[in-house]
Amino acid sequence: EVQLVESGGGLVQPGGSLRLSCAASGFTFNTYGMNWVRQPPGKGLEWVSYISHTGTATHYADSVKGRFTISRDNAKNSLYLQMSSLRDEDTAVYYCARALRDGYDAWGQGTLVTVSS
Amino acid sequence: EIVMTQSPATLSVSPGERATLSCRASQSVSSNLAWYQQKPGQAPRFLIYGASSRATGIPARFSGSGSGTEFTLTISSLQSEDFAVYYCQQYNDWPQWTFGQGTKVEIK
């Protein structure tokens, strides 16, 4: 069974940093691109970042470019999102999602990040 | 950025009735469109890809259609477990795959 389990969310002050993790199991992790997608409370879904299966290619939404860094450790079947210079508008549930050529077919349960003083 | 617009924002339907949800793209996305279902407190669930192909394990009452800029998700006979929020997503503009704002299907 494909499983994605996020962790690392919490309360952080504006300007602070946080590192999210996503542990993958049930599939060959190093053959899939992976994404982070976020959802502010009561709002819709927003793609945040993508990383290729080897980790050599990364992409970011304009809203997080220069502040967030996506990475992966294929030996540990893990995906990461390093977030810095956090803003109020970064408050959201953050999901990791497995990328197929035509959609995100597996999602974690999400981890809540709250940016507030 | 391709903007996806869903309508209506909320759809009130009785169990057993048909629900028709719309999604419009600001420019052509060919058939590179997916649909997701999200229930409160849960992660999105992959329903449809390629505008009309059902993902693994998705019941036949869910169907998608359309191409270019206009797309439709139809639920032929609503079951209690189908009341949820539905999102469309274009994946024509890789990797910035944008979502619509969602349509909430509620019990009438």
pLDDT band at A46 (very low <50, low <70, confident <90, very high): very high
Question: pLDDT tens digit string along A6-19?
Answer: 999 999 999 999 99
Average pLDDT estimate for B36-46: 96
Which residues from B are below 8 Å from A46, CB to CB? Answer: 99
Beta strands in A1-117 (DSSP E): 3-7, 10-12, 18-25, 33-39, 46-51, 58-60, 68-73, 78-83, 92-100, 103-107, 111-115
Give the chain A residue whose CA is nearest to the CA of B35: A103
pLDDT band at B96 (very low <50, low <70, confident <90, very high): confident
Average pLDDT, chain A: 97
Does residue A54 surpass a pLDDT of 90?
yes
Question: pLDDT tens digit string along A57-96?
Answer: 999 999 999 999 999 999 999 999 999 999 999 999 999 9
pLDDT at residue number B108: 87
Instruction: Say what percent of chain B tops pLDDT 90.
Output: 94
pLDDT at residue number A60: 96
pLDDT at residue number A37: 98
3-state DSSP call for residue A97? strand
Average pLDDT estimate for A47-51: 96
Average pLDDT estimate for B5-32: 96
Which residues from B are below 8 Å from A103, CB to CB? Answer: 34, 36, 46, 49, 55, 89, 91
Give the chain B residue whose CA is nearest to the CA of A58: B95
Question: Concatenated DSSP letters for chain B?
Answer: ---EEEE-SEEEE-TTS-EEEEEEESS--TT-EEEEEE-TTS--EEEEETTTEEPTT--TTEEEEEETTEEEEEESS--GGG-SEEEEEE-SSTT---B---EEEEE-
Contact B72, B87 (CB under 8 A): no
